[in-house]
């Protein structure tokens, strides 16, 4: 094998990435990009794919496209073609699903997690106890145009009558598939196995029904793998094959087309398995933000469908509120002006910041988008609810209420944060993306921070299903940018009080010592590829690890930014007073050399016309 080509057919852009085996192993070579051609007048995704590949051809001189018989030349032979081709896709809005379950916090929640884990956007979650009357649920289902439905409900041998009521409600609502009336809507049934014959009777004529093992065979177990696999198969068989040009594209690929977020999720899992660490990953997009967590081997994905940096920028404004956005700016602003600027970005989403003020504003929005996306993720990454045996109904509901808060995502347990997406990749200084991730997620203890160099996590994710070692080799060398390590003790002290001292023993023999006061954030350069032994001691009132200890000996990873010593406290609290807050932000930004000096000079950062 010499060449591998992978594409991602995004909703607006199709991105091709070429990989090559060199003397030093597999490497990323070049990218080609072109607008996606899923919409009219083209209505054939392969046109966009060919255009993106053509750009790769022009940049490399390699012939990849088969001009005689359409498609891609596979394998590489006599200087032409590639040895392997695969693709991910999120064109046309990705995979949009409706989930149903009996109890909102038990089977409906499991259905939601399974659909999200398979890379879907969940349009709604319907449960018997979701607070809506039946007619409201039916109206909602009728107004949706999903690509697929996942229905769970009842443990094996458990509830039947109520699950059937829910099934009949779905049948009566008769949801219209997004891809038109001539299309049988795929339905995955992953509920009580005793009802399979009834389910077949109800749905076989109008739905493309697939029955899989119960998502919650018993309350204590969530078995999402069969449902997830069925979703992927149906995505290929039904959804993709009805999208314009996909039948052709499916013939070109060597492995099934995968939803883009599923590819991205695999890449995050690859990081977790290779580094043997808990990972919190994020894909900050223009329209949606995906958060992935792999904690103690459990993989969970959440998608915040309307949190993003271009199409959805005003939804971040709406959800976070203007005050939460401007709190990250080091200069005084007019709220009305900021709102208008964000609205203008929403209506012209492909524009890019051309002033420092605009750049800082987008970075401020990114912090809030990421913060909200993590909050959302925590509501999904929860312990299984309803497993404890409750004696009475009221006790059970009381317990469910408490369990709502029980996410198992604790930042002190997260060893790696990994970010991808346009805003992070295009940040002019890498330290900017590191601080955006730090401010939004507030890592605790010692956390390594990575980011995607060029958007290729979905590509490497799908590739890893066939060639995991090659995918990792490219991932390690050309995709994962090591930004550095954040050292952030938990707790709070008085401003200016001695807070932490750290000794770094660098492999070249150099020993660095630093003493940091509370309220400060500083950067110690430590190059990429270098690891240093660190001895960290915090003052009383601060702790540095999950045991609550004040001393830690560990290894810190270098990176393009280095080691960040963040003594701003956890949780991070910004001063209430606006002027003091702006001063504080300015001090932190300057300490990390985050932006050019002009960014902090009054009026200079503003537009000059």
Partner 1 sequence: MIMNKYDIEKSVITHAYTPGLQIKESVIVRKVRRLPIKGEVIVNIGDIVDYNDIIAKSKIPGDPYTVKASYMLKCEPDEVPRYMIKKVGDAVKKDEIIAKFTGFFGLIKNIVTSPVDGYIESLSTASGQIIIRETPKDIAVDAYIPGKVIRILHNEGAIIETNAAFIQGIFGVGGENHGEIVVAVDSPKDILTEEHIIRNYKGKIVVGGALVTGEALKKAIEIGVKGIVTGGIRNSDLRSLLGYDIGVAITGYEDIGLTLIITEGFGKMDMSYRTFNLLKKFEGELAHVNGETHIRAGVIRPEIIIPHSRITANYNEQEKLEAGMKPGTTVRVIRSPYFGKLAKVVSLPPELRKSKTESYVRVVEIELDNNQRVIVPRANVEIIEE
Among the listed residues 179, 236, 560, 574, the single contact to partner 1 using CB under 8 A: 560
How far is it, in rounded angstroms, from Cα 161 to Cα 195? 9
Among the listed residues 287, 295, 480, 499, the single contact to partner 1 using CB under 8 A: 287
Phi, psi of 271 (to 5 degrees): -60, -45
How far is it, in rounded angstroms, from Cα 319 to Cα 438? 20
Other beta carbons within 10 angstroms of residue 221's beta carbon come to 13
Among the listed residues 344, 379, 555, 591, the single contact to partner 1 using CB under 8 A: 344
Question: Does 168 engage in binding with partner 1 (CB under 8 A)?
Answer: yes
How far is it, in rounded angstroms, from Cα 191 to Cα 120? 19
Question: Does 39 engage in binding with partner 1 (CB under 8 A)?
Answer: yes
- Kindly tell me the sign of the dihedral angle through the C-alpha atoms of 149, 154, 160, 162: negative
Question: Does 358 engage in binding with partner 1 (CB under 8 A)?
Answer: yes
Among the listed residues 2, 21, 27, 35, the single contact to partner 1 using CB under 8 A: 35
Span of 150-158, 213-221, 339-347, 546-554 interacting with partner 1 by CB under 8 A: 339-347
Nearer Cβ to partner 1 (219/560): 560
Other beta carbons within 10 angstroms of residue 247's beta carbon come to 12
Where b means 16+ CB within 10 Å and e means fewer, 500-518 reads bebebebeeeeeeeeebbb
Q: How far is the CB of 11 from partner 1 (least distance, A)?
A: 4
161 Cβ neighbours under 8 A, 6+ residues apart: none
- Residue of 448, 282, 479, 415 lying closest to 471 (CA atoms): 479
Nearer Cβ to partner 1 (53/481): 481
Question: Does 13 engage in binding with partner 1 (CB under 8 A)?
Answer: yes
Question: Does 530 engage in binding with partner 1 (CB under 8 A)?
Answer: no
Structural tokens at position 171 = 């049948």
Span of 81-89, 269-277, 290-298, 355-363 interacting with partner 1 by CB under 8 A: 355-363
Q: How far is the CB of 100 from partner 1 (least distance, A)?
A: 14
Locate all alpha helices (DSSP H) within 497-577, ordered by sequence.
Answer: none
Among the listed residues 64, 98, 111, 173, the single contact to partner 1 using CB under 8 A: 173
Span of 19-27, 347-355, 512-520, 541-549 interacting with partner 1 by CB under 8 A: 347-355
**411 to 25, 76, 372, 438, 450: CA distances (angstroms):** 35, 46, 15, 11, 16
Nearer Cβ to partner 1 (45/516): 45
Nearer Cβ to partner 1 (321/571): 321
Span of 76-84, 171-179, 486-494, 542-550 interacting with partner 1 by CB under 8 A: 171-179
Cα angle at 373 between 584 and 462, to 5 degrees? Answer: 125
Query: In Å, how far from its chain's centre is CA 419?
Result: 8
Q: How far is the CB of 478 from partner 1 (least distance, A)?
A: 8
Nearer Cβ to partner 1 (8/444): 8
SS3 386: coil
First to last CA, the chain: 56
Span of 239-247, 393-401, 531-539, 601-609 interacting with partner 1 by CB under 8 A: 601-609
E-assigned strand segments in 373-509: 416-420, 445-452, 480-488, 490-491, 498-505
Question: Does 134 engage in binding with partner 1 (CB under 8 A)?
Answer: yes
Q: Which residue has the tokens 């070579």?
A: 29
How far is it, in rounded angstroms, from Cα 206 to Cα 192? 21
Span of 119-127, 158-166, 368-376, 500-508 interacting with partner 1 by CB under 8 A: 158-166
Question: Does 204 engage in binding with partner 1 (CB under 8 A)?
Answer: no
DSSP H or E run through 516? strand 511-517
Question: Does 77 engage in binding with partner 1 (CB under 8 A)?
Answer: no
DSSP character string of 209-222: EEE---S-SSTT--
Question: Does 44 engage in binding with partner 1 (CB under 8 A)?
Answer: no
Q: Tell me the per-residue interface mask from 459 to 498 with partner 1, x by CB under 8 A, - otherwise.
A: ----------------------x-----------------
Among the listed residues 359, 380, 457, 544, the single contact to partner 1 using CB under 8 A: 359
Nearer Cβ to partner 1 (342/412): 342
Question: Does 343 engage in binding with partner 1 (CB under 8 A)?
Answer: yes
Question: Does 66 engage in binding with partner 1 (CB under 8 A)?
Answer: no
Count of residues binding partner 1 (CB under 8 A)?
A: 75
410 Cβ neighbours under 8 A, 6+ residues apart: 444, 546
CB 520 within 8 A of CB 571: no
Q: Which residue has the tokens 């794919």?
A: 49
- Residue of 215, 191, 207 lying closest to 147 (CA atoms): 207
Q: Which residue has the tokens 């309350």?
A: 219
Question: Does 356 engage in binding with partner 1 (CB under 8 A)?
Answer: yes
Structural tokens at position 444 = 């605790």
Span of 46-54, 65-73, 109-117, 346-354 interacting with partner 1 by CB under 8 A: 346-354
Question: Does 590 engage in binding with partner 1 (CB under 8 A)?
Answer: no
Q: How far is the CB of 466 from partner 1 (least distance, A)?
A: 24
Q: How far is the CB of 606 from partner 1 (least distance, A)?
A: 9
Q: How far is the CB of 96 from partner 1 (least distance, A)?
A: 13
Question: Does 157 engage in binding with partner 1 (CB under 8 A)?
Answer: no
Cα angle at 516 between 514 and 517, to 5 degrees? Answer: 160
Nearer Cβ to partner 1 (33/222): 33
Where b means 16+ CB within 10 Å and e means fewer, 427-455 reads beebbbbbbbbbbbbbbbbbbbbbbbebb
CB 569 within 8 A of CB 575: no
Question: Does 428 engage in binding with partner 1 (CB under 8 A)?
Answer: yes
How far is it, in rounded angstroms, from Cα 230 to Cα 115? 10
How far is it, in rounded angstroms, from Cα 609 to Cα 600? 19
Question: Does 25 engage in binding with partner 1 (CB under 8 A)?
Answer: no
Question: Does 420 engage in binding with partner 1 (CB under 8 A)?
Answer: no
Q: How far is the CB of 190 from partner 1 (least distance, A)?
A: 19
Question: Does 430 engage in binding with partner 1 (CB under 8 A)?
Answer: yes
- Residue of 65, 103, 101, 68 lying closest to 85 (CA atoms): 65
Among the listed residues 68, 78, 354, 579, the single contact to partner 1 using CB under 8 A: 354
Among the listed residues 179, 219, 346, 506, the single contact to partner 1 using CB under 8 A: 346
Nearer Cβ to partner 1 (310/492): 310
Q: How far is the CB of 553 from partner 1 (least distance, A)?
A: 32
Residues 297-326 that bind partner 1 (CB under 8 A): 306, 311-312, 314-315, 317-319
Nearer Cβ to partner 1 (39/413): 39
Question: Does 566 engage in binding with partner 1 (CB under 8 A)?
Answer: no
């Amino acid at each position: 094998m010499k060449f591998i080509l992978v594409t991602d057919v995004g909703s607006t852009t199709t991105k091709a990435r070429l990989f090559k085996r060199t003397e030093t192993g597999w490497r990323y070579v070049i990218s080609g990009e072109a607008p996606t051609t899923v919409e009219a007048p083209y209505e054939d995704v392969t046109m966009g794919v060919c255009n993106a590949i053509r750009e790769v051809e022009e940049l490399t001189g390699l012939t990849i496209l088969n001009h005689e018989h359409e498609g891609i030349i596979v394998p590489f032979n006599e200087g032409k073609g590639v040895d392997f081709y695969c693709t991910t896709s999120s064109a046309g809005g990705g995979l949009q699903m409706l989930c149903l379950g009996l109890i909102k916090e038990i089977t409906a929640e499991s259905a939601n997690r399974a659909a999200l884990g398979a890379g879907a956007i969940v349009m709604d979650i319907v449960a018997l106890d979701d607070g809506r009357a039946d007619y409201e649920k039916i109206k909602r289902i009728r107004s949706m145009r999903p690509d697929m439905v996942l229905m769970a409900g009842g443990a094996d041998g458990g509830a039947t009558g109520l699950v059937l009521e829910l099934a009949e409600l779905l049948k009566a609502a008769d949801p219209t598939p997004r891809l038109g009336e001539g299309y049988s809507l795929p339905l995955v049934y992953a509920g009580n196995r005793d009802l399979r014959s009834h389910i077949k009777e109800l749905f076989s004529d109008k739905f493309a029904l697939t029955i899989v093992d119960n998502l919650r065979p018993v309350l204590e177990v969530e078995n999402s793998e069969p449902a997830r696999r069925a979703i992927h198969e149906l995505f290929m068989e039904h959804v993709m094959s009805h999208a314009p040009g996909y039948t052709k594209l499916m013939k070109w690929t060597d492995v099934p087309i995968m939803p883009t977020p599923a590819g991205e999720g695999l890449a995050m899992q690859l990081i977790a398995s290779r580094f043997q660490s808990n990972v919190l990953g994020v894909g900050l997009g223009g329209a949606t933000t995906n958060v992935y967590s792999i904690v103690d081997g459990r993989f969970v994905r959440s998608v915040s469908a309307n949190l993003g940096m271009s199409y959805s920028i005003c939804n971040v404004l709406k959800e976070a509120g203007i005050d939460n956005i401007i709190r990250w700016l080091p200069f005084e602003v007019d709220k009305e002006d900021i709102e208008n600027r964000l609205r203008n970005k929403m209506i012209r989403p492909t524009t890019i910041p051309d002033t420092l003020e605009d750049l800082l504003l987008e970075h401020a929005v990114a912090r809030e988008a990421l913060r909200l996306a993590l909050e959302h993720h925590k509501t999904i990454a929860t312990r299984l609810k309803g497993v404890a045996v409750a004696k009475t109904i009221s006790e059970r509901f009381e317990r469910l209420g408490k369990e709502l808060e029980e996410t198992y995502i604790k930042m002190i347990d997260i060893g790696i944060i990994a970010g991808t997406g346009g805003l992070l990749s295009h940040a002019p200084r890498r330290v900017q993306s590191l601080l955006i991730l730090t401010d939004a997620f507030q890592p605790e203890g010692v956390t390594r921070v990575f980011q995607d160099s060029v958007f290729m996590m979905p590509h490497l994710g799908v590739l890893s299903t066939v060639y995991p070692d090659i995918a990792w080799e490219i991932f390690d060398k050309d995709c994962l940018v090591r930004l550095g390590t954040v050292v952030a003790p938990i707790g709070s002290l008085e401003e200016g009080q001695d807070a932490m001292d750290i000794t770094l023993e660098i492999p070249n023999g150099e020993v660095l010592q630093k003493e940091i006061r509370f309220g400060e954030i500083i950067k110690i350069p430590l190059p990429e590829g270098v690891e240093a032994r660190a001895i960290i001691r915090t003052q009383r009132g601060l702790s540095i690890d999950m045991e609550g200890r004040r001393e830690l000996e560990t290894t810190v990873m270098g990176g393009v930014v280095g080691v960040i010593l963040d003594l701003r406290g956890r949780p991070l609290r910004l001063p209430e007073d606006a002027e003091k807050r702006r001063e504080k932000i300015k001090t932190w930004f300057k300490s990390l050399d985050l932006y050019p000096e002009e960014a902090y000079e009054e009026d200079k950062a503003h537009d000059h016309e």
